[in-house]
Amino acid sequence: MLTNTKKSPYAKVSPLPWNSVQWTEGFWNDVFHMCADSTIPHLQKMFEDKDISHVVENFRICAGESDGEFGGTDFGDGDFYKWMESAMYAAAKTGNQELLDKLDSYIELIGRAQLPDGYISTKQILGERQQNGVKRFGNINDFEVYNFGHLFTAACLYKRITGKDNFLKIAEKAARYLEDMYQENARTGKVQTAVCPSHYMGLVEMYRTTGEEWYLNLAQLAVNLRDSVTDGTDDNQDRLPLKEHEKIVGHAVRSNYLYAGVADLYAEKGDETYLEVLHKVWRNLMDTKIYITGGCGALYNGASPYGNFFIHQLVHQAYGYEYQLPNVTAYNETCASLGHVFWAYRMFQIEPRAEYFDAIERAMLNVNLAAVSIDGKKYFYENMLRRAKELKYKLIWPLTRSEYILSYCCPPNLARTLAESSEYAYLRSEDALWLGMYGASEADVELDCRASFHVQQQTEYPYDGKIVLNFSSRGSQPFKVKLRIPGWAVSGSVEVSSNAQICGNVEASSSAQASGSMEMSGNVQAIGNGEMDGNTQVTGSSVKLTEKDAGSYYTVELSGEGQEQIILNLDMPVRYTVPHTMVEENSGQAAIERGPLVYCVESPDASVESLDDLMLDLNASFVTKPLEIQGRTVTALEGDCYCLDRSGFDREKLYQSLNYRGLNRTRVRLIPYFAWDNRDYGEMRVWLPIAYR
């Protein structure tokens, strides 16, 4: 779910118009078309099917056009609105008028289901009509406000894409209902915290779309009321007043949605105490609680690590202790990692730092894409990092992807994010174009400094680190290009056309200083003292990137005259990644990464009895190889590992004597994590023990 292009007063960058950017070929273009051609129509069938989700049927019953009772999940309405987002975006991008017409018919149906007072949540409408005991706001876990919030964002996107007000009018009536309710809550002190609070983002988006101040005031009121909740919980992040939050806790979707909404409020109102909270919880997440794949929320059920022994603090699909990151039971609900992307995207707009887009790209390329099969029709709800042959216990969700999962919130949330993924490619400030997720694309850009140009990006990223940017200016105003140097990129180069200026680092990474020497090649000439202090300008052909540049934005200034080119080369060696020593499950183990991709090994790619027998050889050389999986070609890695001789070892015993019988060498293949579980059922591992020899 992306924000409108309205410039927020406390945001330093803003998105480009939705129709000014498109993927052109390669990786992300393939993902978009998988989503548009497969996932979106597949989800539509699921929502239309009375025997599966019952979602559209619920609206028809509410509208008096069908008979029956409510069926499906409490949050089905909101899930349908998310699917509508994906459908409207893909339909507009591909020129699918039939789908756009169908969306109009759905909007009309929703309007007929809505009550005169603006209330719209099908379970409660039918409950009150049929007098079955279900009523409005009787239980926060009925997800009414969640449904409202996704209605708001879908209606705003429809206005943004089509220019039509029909969906927006339904959303306005619903927001007026919410306003009356929240004002009554404020008067009486009877306040409930909405779960999975999509409405914070949704109300701010309504303000950005319409310009009407009352939406923003309502969003502020909704957030303020959290502090009036009695008997709050860590699960809902309302045990403590918002401005006292220092750690990320509880339900990961609820948490990430909350902070994304608070970031939206900061962008409009500039309350520095909100920004301080956002920084604290972001650091707690990124330094201690995030998976290498970008997954969020390690635990299925448990008690809050920060709760009181005498006050039971139940948590669900939650952030646990610092460094508590299990692999087999990793929960990592897809909606949580998507919420992480929404939050990071808003943080980037507030303060454009490479760390935020590094986080977005890690989640998008790894855990988010792993949540959907390569054919676009099967889904994970949870995203584990290790799958065993068999377990002695049963997890709540299947160990393979499914076409329909009872909690169907993740597939449409993923669909809208993948459909809208081109908006993560570029953002803009007054005089600069900022590079976000890399991928073959093109965009038409206009900046406030009156620079106007077309940019074409040619690359095979994420499998190759060469990124060619061709600029065709339509004026003569100079402008800047901000190149993201990912945190993993410790070497490479920036090459520019002769009339461009390389200005150097504008941001230090978390582990490097902003100053240091520049390495130059060819006929490059440094202007000034040669220090990377953010003001250095370099003219010439090429500048080498070093570890000091990792995790920063690198500035190139273009003249704005005619054709100009920038070539960014990011070296992509295979690297071993080790965790913090407090991540107990991965002690003595490493993961293999290349570029922005996390790799894993599956049973078909190793000739061993069990993947548990594999050990990494730190001196091994891995080579890239193309591999076709389900019709899509991925870049695999091939190399040697060690295989532990398990002769005489009883795999069923809890403990036994160690009998070391040596190591053998064996050939293995690793595939990108996102591509796993698209072949026969077998084991999978991301983390492998290290053999120190």
Give ∠ CA 89-95-101 in degrees, rounded to 5: 75
Kindly report the average pLDDT of the chain as a whole number. Answer: 91
pLDDT surpasses 70 at 539 = no
Quick check: 82 and 415 in contact, CB under 8 A? yes
Nearest to 480 by CA among 518, 461, 453: 453
Residue 611: the pLDDT is 97
Which amino acid, 666?
Answer: T
Nearest to 496 by CA among 515, 517, 471: 471
3-state secondary structure of 89: helix
Residue 316: the pLDDT is 79
Our CA dihedral for 412, 414, 419, 420, rounded to 10 degrees, sits at: 110
DSSP state of 8: P
The pTM of this model reads: 0.94
3-state secondary structure of 325: coil
> Each residue of 331-368: b (16+ CB within 10 Å) or e?
bbbbbbbbbbbbbbbbbbbbbbbbbbbbbbbbbbbbbb
pLDDT tier, 60 (very low <50, low <70, confident <90, very high otherwise): very high
pLDDT surpasses 80 at 504 = no
> Each residue of 57-77: b (16+ CB within 10 Å) or e?
bbbbbbbeeeeeebbbbbbbb
Residue 450: the pLDDT is 94
pLDDT surpasses 70 at 522 = no
pLDDT surpasses 50 at 527 = no
Could you report the per-residue pLDDT of 189-205, keeping only the tens digit for each?
A: 888 888 889 999 999 99
Nearest to 551 by CA among 513, 518, 608: 513
pLDDT tier, 310 (very low <50, low <70, confident <90, very high otherwise): low
- Determine the distance from the C-alpha atom of residue 385 to the mean position of all C-alpha atoms in its chain, rounded to a whole number: 17
Work out the angle between the directed axes of helices 166-188 and 144-162 (0-180°, nearest 10).
150
pLDDT surpasses 80 at 177 = yes
48 burial class (0-12, 13-18, 19+ CB within 10 angstroms)? middle
- What does the DSSP assignment read for 101-156? HHHHHHHHHHHHHS-TTS---HHHHHHHHHTSS--TTS-GGG-HHHHHHHHHHHHH
Residue holding tokens 């393979």? 400
Give, in order, the Cα–Cα distances in Å from 39 to each of 19, 164, 377, 434: 21, 25, 6, 30
- Quick one: which H or E segment has residue 363? helix 354-363
- What does the DSSP assignment read for 469-506? EEEEESSS--EEEEEEE-TT--SEEEEE-TT-EEEEES
Could you report the per-residue pLDDT of 213-264, keeping only the tens digit for each?
A: 999 999 999 999 999 988 888 888 888 999 999 999 989 999 999 999 999 9
**SS3 assignment for 209-239:** HHCCHHHHHHHHHHHHHHHHCCCCCCCCCCC
E-strand ranges in 294-375 read 299-303, 314-319
Q: What percent of the chain has pLDDT over 90?
A: 80
679 burial class (0-12, 13-18, 19+ CB within 10 angstroms)? middle
Least confident of 464-473, 531-540, 630-639: 531-540
- Determine the distance from the C-alpha atom of residue 30 to the mean position of all C-alpha atoms in its chain, rounded to a whole number: 18
- Quick one: which H or E segment has residue 265? helix 252-269
DSSP state of 22: E
- The widest CA-to-CA distance across the chain, in whole angstroms, is 81
Could you report the per-residue pLDDT of 406-455, keeping only the tens digit for each?
A: 778 999 999 999 999 999 999 999 999 999 999 999 999 999 999 999 99
Nearest to 663 by CA among 644, 688, 649, 648: 644
CA distance 267 to 690: 45
- For 656-660, what is the mean pLDDT? 92
CA distance 577 to 305: 28
Phi-psi region of 390 (alpha: psi -120 to 50; beta: other; left: phi over 0): beta
Domain locations in the chain as residue ranges: 28-196, 426-570, 574-691
pLDDT surpasses 60 at 647 = yes
- For 292-319, what is the mean pLDDT? 80
CA distance 427 to 17: 10
Q: For domain 426-570, give the fold.
A: Jelly Rolls (2.60.120)
CA distance 612 to 388: 9
CA distance 537 to 501: 6
Residue partners of 188: CB distance under 8 A and separation at least 6: none
Residue 537: the pLDDT is 44
Could you report the per-residue pLDDT of 256-289, keeping only the tens digit for each?
A: 999 999 999 999 999 999 999 999 999 999 999 9
pLDDT tier, 524 (very low <50, low <70, confident <90, very high otherwise): very low
Phi, psi angles (nearest 5°) of residue 320: -105, -140
CA distance 149 to 82: 10
**SS3 assignment for 507-531:** CCCCCCCCCCECEEECCCEEECCCE
CB atoms within 10 A of CB 452: 16
